[in-house]
Amino acid sequence: MKKKSAPRTIVEDTLVPHAAFNGALRRIEQCFAYADSAREPICIALIGETRTGKSRAMEEFSTRHPSIRNGEGLYIPILRVTTPAKPTVKSLVELMLERMHDELSESGSENAKTRRLVKLMDECGTQMVMIDEFHHFVDKGSHKVIHDVANWLKTLVDRIRCVLIVAGLPTCQAVLEQNEQLEGRFSAPVMMPRFEWKIDEHREEFIAILSAFHESMSRYFDLPELDNADMAFRCYCATGGLMGYLTKFLRQVVWNALDSGKRKITLGDLAIAHDEAVWAKHGPRGLPNPFTKNFQSTPNEDLIERIRMIGVPLEQETQKRRRVSPPKKMKVTEVLSTA
Ligand SMILES: Nc1ncnc2c1ncn2[C@@H]1O[C@H](COP(=O)(O)OP(=O)(O)OP(=O)(O)O)[C@@H](O)[C@H]1O
Ligand SMILES: [Mg+2]
C-alpha cells in the first residue's frame, strides 16, 4: 500500500493515554467536577521527574475545558500559568492577570492587583488554577521555600475556593512539607513515573507506548517494529524510560526521514537520530548508542542501573541509586572498621 506523505508533527500529534497519564487526568477531572460545590479549596500536586509528561497532562486537561466567549462575556474555567524562575507575588499575580486578559496587568499595588484578579476569576467562572514548574517555589540556592508567594497562593485559593493543581519535580514536595497550611489543603499527590525496565507493569506500558508511536509512524514510513523485545529494550536504553526523551528521539527520526525524502527508516537511521537528539545535560556519560548493530540488546543489571540515571541531576544520582538498591546490612565489625 502506498504511504501518505507525512506531517512533520506526527510524533507531537500522537497522544498516548498511558495509565499514569489517564490516572492524572481522572484525578484532575474528579476535582474539577466537584469544584462548584466545594466548601474549601481542593489541591493536588502532580509530581514526577523531568520529561515524564506533567505539563502535557495539564495541557491536555485544559484543552478539554477551553475558554469561551459568549453573549454573557468571557468564561475561563481554567487559569494555567508556569511559575517564573524566581517567583515573587508581583510576578505571579501579573502573570495570572495577563492570562485572565487583564489589559493593565502591571498597574496598581500588589493588593489592588490581587483584588482585580479575584474579581476577574469570579466574573469569568474560573474553577481551577494550574501552576506548572511549582518547584520554583523553592529557592534554588538556599533550598528554602519562598513563603510569601506560597502564602499568597494559599490565600488566593481560599478566597476563590477553586481547585489548585500544581505540577513539578519531586523537589516541589518541599514546598508542601515546609508550609503546613498549604500542605493541609492537599490530597495525596499524583505521581508521573519514568518507566522502569525491571518493573513488569512499567515495561509493558513502555512497550505499549512504543506500539502507539509505531502505529502512527508506520502510516507514513516503513520502520523497524519498535515494540518487539529487542527494539523495546534498545528504545528503553535510548531514553531511560522517559516519555519526553522518547518523543524527542522519534521526532528527530521523522525529521531526518522527511528531510532526506526517505520512506524507509532503518536501524542505522535510528542510530543517527539518537546521536543527534539525545543530549542529556544530566545523567551518566559514555552510554552506548543502542541502535548500533553490535549493541547487546539482552538486558543486564549493570546497564539498566546506568540507564535509570538518564536525566537525573548528579546530586540526586546517589540518592536514587540508594533508593533502589538498599545498602547491604553491615556487620558491627565492618561498621567499626569503616568509621
Ligand atoms: N502521554 C503522552 N503522549 C504523547 N506524548 C507525550 C505524553 N506525555 C508527554 N509527552 C511528550 O513528552 C514531552 C515531555 O512531556 P512534558 O513536557 O509534559 O514533561 P514534563 O514532565 O512537564 O517535563 P519537565 O519536568 O521537564 O517540564 C513533550 O514533548 C510531550 O508532548
Ligand atoms: Mg513541564
The ligand 1 atom nearest the CA atom of 53: 18
Residue 321's pLDDT band, with cuts at 50, 70 and 90, is: low
pLDDT in tens, 24-35: 999 999 999 988
Matching residue, cell 469544584? 35
Which of 78-82, 202-206, 268-272, 329-333 has the lowest average pLDDT? 329-333
Cα distance between residue 119 and residue 143, in whole Å:
34
Is the Cβ atom of 290 under 6 angstroms away from ligand 1? no
Question: For residue 224, how far is its CA from the centre of ligand 2 (angstroms)?
Answer: 30
Cα distance between residue 138 and residue 254, in whole Å:
38
- Inform me whether the pLDDT recorded for 251 exceeds 80: yes
Say if CB 220 and CB 6 are below 8 A apart: yes
The closest residue, in CA terms, to atom 16 on ligand 1 is: 53
Cα distance between residue 329 and residue 317, in whole Å:
21
- Inform me whether the pLDDT recorded for 324 exceeds 70: no
Helix 89-99, helix 147-160: angle, nearest 10: 40
- Inform me whether the pLDDT recorded for 339 exceeds 70: no
At 235 the pLDDT is 97
Residue 83: other Cβ atoms inside 10 A: 23
Mutate to test the pocket of ligand 1, among 58, 191, 195, 247 (most ligand atoms within 8 A of CB): 247
Domain boundaries, the chain: 19-192, 195-314
Q: Which CATH number fits domain 19-192: 3.40.50.300, 3.30.70.2740, 3.40.30.10, 3.40.50.720?
A: 3.40.50.300
Ligand sitting nearest the alpha carbon of 57: 1
At 314 the pLDDT is 65
Cα distance between residue 186 and residue 138, in whole Å:
17
In whole numbers, what is the pLDDT of the chain averaged over residues?
Answer: 89
Is the Cβ atom of 52 under 6 angstroms away from ligand 1? yes
- Inform me whether the pLDDT recorded for 276 exceeds 80: yes
Percentage of the chain with pLDDT > 90? Answer: 69
- Inform me whether the pLDDT recorded for 156 exceeds 70: yes
Matching residue, cell 475558554? 67
Average the pLDDT over 263-289 and give the result.
Answer: 84
SS3 of residue 139 by DSSP: coil
The closest residue, in CA terms, to atom 12 on ligand 1 is: 244
The ligand 1 atom nearest the CA atom of 167: 22
Cα distance between residue 304 and residue 301, in whole Å:
5
